[in-house]
Amino acid sequence: MPPTMPQAPHKDDLDETWSFLESGINSVMHKLEEGVDMKHYMALYTAVHNFCTSQKAVASNQGLQAHRGAHLLGEELYKLLGEYLSRHLSEVHEKSLAHSEEALLAFYIREWTRYTTAAKYVNHLFSYLNRHWVKREIDEGKKNVYDVYTLHLVKWKDDFFENLHAKVMDAVLNLIEKQRNGETIEQSQIKSIVDSFVSLGLDENDSKKSTLEVYRHYFQRPFIDATRKYYENESRQFVAENSVVEYMKKAEARLEEEKARVGLYLHSDVTKSLTETCLDVLVTAHSTLLRDEFQILLDNERQDDLARMYRLLSRIKEGLDPLRSTFENHVRKAGLAAIEKVASEGENFEPKLYVDALLQVHTRYQNLVDEAFNGESEFVRSLDNACREFVNRNRICKSTTTKSPELLAKYTDSLLKKGSKAAEESELEEMLVQIMTVFKYIEDKDVFQKFYSKMLAKRLVHVSSVSDDAETSMISKLKEACGFEYTNKLQRMFQDIQISKDLNANYKVYQEKVLDDDDRRRMVDAHFQVLGTGMWPLNPPNTAFSAPPEVTKSAERFQKFYFDKHNGRKLTWLWQLCKGEVKANYIKNAKVPYTFQVSTFQMGILLLFNETDTLSYSDIQKATTLAPEVLDPNLAIFLKAKVLLAGPDGAKPEPTTTYNLNYNFKNKKVKVNLNIQIKSEQKVESDDTHKTIEEDRKLLLQSAIVRVMKSRKKMKHVQLVQEVIQQVKSRFPPKVPDIKKNIEALMEKDYIERLEGDEVSYIA
């Protein structure tokens, strides 16, 4: 500011007033850095105020004329200011012509900063004009009238920016390209340019509001176009010279760079269009190339690269769809190949080998889905589809589709039996969780239930479970997967065992009361289990049997005790499930008597040798009344273990074949287990189980048909079939011919009837 202040103008003289104001505004526009003389500044403010109010005082009683006078004077002052700004910006533009590239950006930013700072001061000088004349003009709907600060911006845009924006943007884009090429640039310059473009966005309908139209049109659009062109050229060249994996790394790095660029110096509004453009050029344009590499990466288990491909393709529309079907097919083939390997071992492979093969494939690809594909639900579905396919339809399942649930049940049985290798509780629990993983994919869940139920029954009857906790844990898992009805009988079996424990405790008390000392000495130490017929999958013996007197006495005594407590009940002795231990006191040179663990049938045979050392086949058969198909394999076990020796007429069981007690029996173990299940029995048992499954399925289908018809009363035959499939598919996949056969069976029983037009009706 000059040291001497110009004389204040006459308040009614426009020329004087503007001359005074122009001198002051000029100082603000050009010499603001030298400081502001507050006295001069206030004089300028007063001059504007005085000029705008002078006509009001003169014409206070002239009504409308007074209003119009003030209106016109305000307009003159506003117009002169606009003209001044246009002249000023014309000079700035002339100076800009001497600059280019980064020097031009520095000039633009310097002038913009100086201009907008000055605009705030000038705006304050004209605040009276803003509050009255400008406000009134805007309120009356006058266009192209703004507050003084906004007028500065409008003039900058119209008189300077319009002439220079193309050169400025060229310089900005060159700078950004340098940075993309790895050079260090002055980022703050671009940030300042962006901010200035944003500030120039004005709402034509409301000067107080700002828009991003200027920024979007003059900055964002050319920036996006340049970005597209840059990455089209770079990616085309990079793909031609490098591997797909290297390209994915490059694309991922570029996407991260562009994301960071927004935070560094761009406006956040660009984020969406910048991301879409980069994805379109870097990913969508090369998506076929990426997908073609997917199978190679799967074959070589390149998890990091698969994850990179997933991240890239997941960001474009329908980018992952082809990968999911490729992945599903790959997992299915891997599963089938694993089972082929097991099948090549021969027919007598262990169930563990089969289940482990299924689990290894699932675990490998579950980890891949979790780690590489972020656990994405559609990839999980592809994995599930593939696993369901190879678990239920593979080489081992060719002969019967129910092989998988049968083998899974057998493996579960081996884990839950005493002697399981999974000694630690936590390890066993983990294995049960893995079993449920395979169980989830099994379609014939009723087959698993039937085999599991039979094997659980044996474990409970023979007290061979590894622990009650493990058994209840498995049942609760099955209940969670399939519901209460699926495990109802299994839980009732447990209850019967608990009730039997209490019953035996009471029986011991009873014996203490009724038996004398001699009876107690002769008494067999027995444990009885009373099992409900409807809950246990057990059959009566398939052979007659005359139990030895020692066993018969104990059985009769328990029976009397039981019938005294429960009148009207019937007990059926399941001799084929009974077992015990006998001491071999006859063996020479045995420091400790051997203990034979035997079935009750075997016990019946051995106890006959208490009376004699030699017995013929017919003697044994007559005494035990066992059927040959049971007697012969048990004698074969005794001969193999050398407990008995066959006579000179050979080991073939003929009526005259003789069997001698072996007084020189030797074994490494003191306890010798002779109670071994015969393979032929296992085969019969398995066949019987499959027969009961077929019967149960028939009943399940018929009950589902009746249930549907009872609720619907009348429906089309095709709809009935579909409804029944929906109802039973959680237990097994029903075949349409079987459903139709059972519909016919229910028609014969008059549960339903056929109507015209392929409809069926429920008969109440």
Residues 6+ apart with CB under 8 A from 430: none
User: How confident is the model at residue 207, as a pLDDT?
Assistant: 58
Exposure b/e, 165-204, CB count within 10 A at least 16 = b: bebbbebbbebbeebbeeeebeeebbebbbebbbbbbbee
In this prediction, residues 222-226 reach a mean pLDDT of: 96
Highest-confidence segment of 5-9, 68-72, 332-336: 332-336
**Is the pLDDT reported for residue 304 higher than 80?**
yes
Q: Does CATH number 2.60.40.10 belong to domain 578-676?
A: no
pTM exceeds 0.85 for this model: no
Query: Which residues, including other chains, have CB under 8 Å from residue 536's CB and lie 6 or more apart?
Result: 457, 489, 493, 496
Task: Find all residues with CB under 8 Å of 42, minimum gap 6, and list them.
Answer: none
Which range is least confidently modeled, 59-68, 226-235, 478-487, 698-707?
59-68
A 10 A CB-CB count for 220 gives 20
Confidence (pLDDT) at 678: 67
The pLDDT tens digits for 441-490 are: 999 999 999 999 999 999 999 888 998 899 999 999 999 999 988 899 99
Q: What is the rounded average pLDDT of the residues 227-231? A: 96
pLDDT, tens digit (0-9, with 9 covering 90-100), for 18-61: 888 788 888 888 877 777 677 877 888 788 888 888 754 344 33
Q: Which of 143-147, 277-281, 430-434, 520-524 has the lowest mean pLDDT?
A: 520-524
Q: Across residues 332-358, what is the average pLDDT?
A: 91
Q: Which of 12-26, 215-229, 698-712 tops mean pLDDT?
A: 215-229
The 10s digit of each residue's pLDDT in 54-105 is 754 344 334 434 444 444 567 888 889 899 999 999 999 999 999 999 999 9
Please count the CA atoms within 13 angstroms of the CA of 727 that sit on its side-chain side.
18
- The answer to whether residues 396 and 339 touch, using CB atoms and an 8 Å cutoff, is yes
Options 1.20.1310.10, 1.20.140.10, 2.60.40.10, 3.40.50.20; CATH of 14-211 = 1.20.1310.10
- Rounded to an integer, the average pLDDT of 646-661 is 79
Work out the pLDDT band at 518, boundaries 50, 70, 90.
low
DSSP string, 197-220: HHHT-EETTEEEEE-SHHIIIIII
pLDDT tens per residue across span 371-390: 999 999 999 999 999 999 99
- Say if residue 733's pLDDT is above 50: yes
Q: Which of the four pLDDT bands, split at 50, 70 and 90, describes residue 175? A: very high
Are 262 and 223 in contact, with CB atoms under 8 Å apart? no
Residue 264 clears pLDDT 50, i.e. is over it: yes
**Main-chain dihedrals φ then ψ at residue 609, nearest 5 degrees:** -80, 0
User: Stretch 720-730: mean pLDDT, rounded?
Assistant: 85
**Which of the residue ranges 44-58, 103-117, 541-555 would you say has the lowest mean pLDDT?**
44-58
The pLDDT of 631-645, averaged and rounded, is: 92
The mean of the pLDDT values for the chain is 87
Residue-level pLDDT at 58: 41
Instruction: Look at residue 229 and tell me whether its pLDDT is greater than 70.
Output: yes
pLDDT at 340: 93
Residue 618's pLDDT band (boundaries 50, 70, 90)? very high
Q: What is the mean pLDDT of residues 132-154?
A: 86
CATH architecture entry for 682-762 = Orthogonal Bundle (1.10)
What share of the chain in percent tops pLDDT 90?
A: 53
Q: What percent of the chain has pLDDT over 70?
A: 91
Q: Cα–Cα distance between 709 and 715 in angstroms, integer?
A: 8
Residue spans per domain, the chain? 14-211, 221-299, 303-483, 578-676, 682-762
Specify the CATH class of 221-299 in words: mainly alpha
* Mean pLDDT on 496-521: 82
Both tokens of 413, joined, read 């049985």
Q: Which tops the pLDDT comparison, 434 or 649?
A: 434
| 287 pLDDT more than 70 | yes
Please give the CATH topology (third level) of the domain spanning 303-483: 5 helical Cullin repeat like (1.20.1310)
303-483 has the same fold as 221-299:
yes
Phi, psi of 209 (to 5 degrees): -95, 150
Give the single-character DSSP code of 285: G
For residue 442, the 8-state DSSP code is -
Q: What average pLDDT does range 649-668 have in this prediction?
A: 83
